[in-house]
Amino acid sequence: MLSPGLLSSWRHYQRHPWQLLLLLLGILIGVAVVGAVDLVNQSARDSFRLANAQLLGRTSHQIKGQSPLPEALYRQLRTELALSAATPLVSAFVKDDLGQGVVLRVIGFDPLVGDPLAAEPLSRGLDRGRLNPPLGLMQLMMAAGGVVLDTRTARRLGVGVGDRIPLITATGRQSVQVLSLLQGDDPRSNNLLLMDIGQAQQLLGLAGHLTQINLIELDRQQQSRLRAWLPKAYQLQTAQQQRQATAGLTDSFHLNLSALSLLALVVGLLLVYNSCHFSLIQRQPVFAQLRALGVTAAELRRAILWEILAIATIGSLLGVLMGIGLAQLLFGLVVQTLDDLYLSNPINRLFISMPTLLKSFMIGIGGCLLASWQPIRQLSRITPRQSQLRYRQEIDAARSRSYHCYLAGGLLGCSALLSLWRDSGLIGGFIAIACLLLGIALITPMLVAAITQALSASVLYPQQLRLPLVRMALRDCGRSLSRTGVAVMALMIAVAATIGMTVMIDSFRASLEGWLQQRLSADIYIRRHQPLPGSARALPPELIAYARNHPAVETLATVKRSATTLNGRRVEIVSSNLPEAMQRGYRFTAERPAIIWKRLQGRDQILISEPLANHWRLQTGDSVELQTGSGLQPFKIAGIYQDYGSDNGRILIPEARFETYWGDSRATGMAVYLHRPADVDRVIAEIQQHVGLAHPEQQSGQQQPLDVRPGARLLQRSLAVFERTFLITDVLRLLALGVAFIGILGALMALQLERQNELHILRSLGLTAFERAKLLLYQSALLGLLAGLIAIPTGHLLAWLLIEVIHLRAFGWSMSYQPSISAALSGLLLSVSAALLASLWPAWRFGRYTHRPRTE
Identify residue 224 by its one-letter amino acid code: S
What string marks each residue from 374 to 393 as x (binds other proteins by CB under 8 A) or -? ---------------xxx--
Helix (H) or strand (E) holding 616: helix 610-616
Nearer to other proteins, 551 or 853 (CB): 853
CB atoms within 10 A of CB 111: 20
Determine the interface stretch with other proteins among 167-175, 487-495, 764-772, 832-840 (rule: CB under 8 A): 764-772
| Strand duo 650-654 + 569-576: pairing | parallel
What string marks each residue from 163 to 202 as x (binds other proteins by CB under 8 A) or -? -----------------x-x-x-x-xx----x-xxxx-xx
Nearer to other proteins, 118 or 727 (CB): 118
Q: Does 396 bind other proteins (CB under 8 A)?
A: no
Q: Does 203 bind other proteins (CB under 8 A)?
A: no
Q: Does 757 bind other proteins (CB under 8 A)?
A: yes
Q: What would the DSSP string read from start to end of 335-368? A: HHHHHHHTS----------HHHHHHHHHHHHHHH
Round to whole Å and give the CA distance between 519 and 646: 14
CB distance 13 to 302 below 8 Å: no
> Cβ of residue 138: shortest distance to other proteins, in angstroms?
4
Residue 237 has phi, psi (to 5 degrees) of -115, 150
Return the CA Rg of the chain.
33
Helix (H) or strand (E) holding 564: strand 553-566
Q: Does 678 bind other proteins (CB under 8 A)?
A: no
Q: How many residues bind other proteins (CB under 8 A)?
A: 87
Q: Which residues pair with 564 in a beta bridge?
A: 571
Nearer to other proteins, 71 or 307 (CB): 71
CB distance 44 to 334 below 8 Å: yes
Q: Does 207 bind other proteins (CB under 8 A)?
A: yes
Round to whole Å and give the CA distance between 794 and 823: 12
Nearer to other proteins, 125 or 621 (CB): 125
Q: Does 137 bind other proteins (CB under 8 A)?
A: yes
Nearer to other proteins, 170 or 751 (CB): 751
Nearer to other proteins, 221 or 549 (CB): 221
> Cβ of residue 467: shortest distance to other proteins, in angstroms?
7
Q: Give the list of residues 6+ apart from residue 46 with CB closer than 8 angstroms, or none.
A: 187, 347, 351, 353
Round to whole Å and give the CA distance between 648 and 533: 15
Find how far residue 166's CA is from the centre of its chain.
32
User: CA 616, 617, 620, 622: dihedral to nearest 10 degrees?
Assistant: -60
Q: Does 314 bind other proteins (CB under 8 A)?
A: no
> Cβ of residue 846: shortest distance to other proteins, in angstroms?
14
Q: Does 128 bind other proteins (CB under 8 A)?
A: yes
Nearer to other proteins, 75 or 675 (CB): 75
Of the candidates 514, 543, 546, 515, the one whose C-alpha atom is nearest the C-alpha of residue 528 is: 543
> Cβ of residue 284: shortest distance to other proteins, in angstroms?
14
Q: Does 538 bind other proteins (CB under 8 A)?
A: no
> Cβ of residue 814: shortest distance to other proteins, in angstroms?
44
> Cβ of residue 837: shortest distance to other proteins, in angstroms?
24
> Cβ of residue 230: shortest distance to other proteins, in angstroms?
17
Q: Does 354 bind other proteins (CB under 8 A)?
A: no
Q: Does 855 bind other proteins (CB under 8 A)?
A: yes
> Cβ of residue 14: shortest distance to other proteins, in angstroms?
18
Question: What residues from 29 to 68 belong to the interface with other proteins (CB under 8 A)?
Answer: 57-58
Of the candidates 166, 156, 153, the one whose C-alpha atom is nearest the C-alpha of residue 194 is: 153
Q: Does 118 bind other proteins (CB under 8 A)?
A: yes
In the list 110, 307, 572, 610, the residue contacting other proteins (rule: CB under 8 A) is 110
> Cβ of residue 59: shortest distance to other proteins, in angstroms?
11
Question: What residues from 417 to 476 belong to the interface with other proteins (CB under 8 A)?
Answer: 463-464, 466-468, 471-472, 475-476
Find how far residue 672's CA is from the centre of its chain.
36
Of the candidates 379, 398, 361, the one whose C-alpha atom is nearest the C-alpha of residue 279 is: 379
Nearer to other proteins, 145 or 500 (CB): 145
| Strand duo 192-196 + 605-609: pairing | unpaired
Q: CB-side exposure of 628: number of CA atoms within 13 Å?
A: 20
Q: Does 127 bind other proteins (CB under 8 A)?
A: yes
Q: Does 480 bind other proteins (CB under 8 A)?
A: yes
Question: What residues from 63 to 102 belong to the interface with other proteins (CB under 8 A)?
Answer: 71-72, 74-75, 78-82, 84
Identify residue 609 by its one-letter amino acid code: S
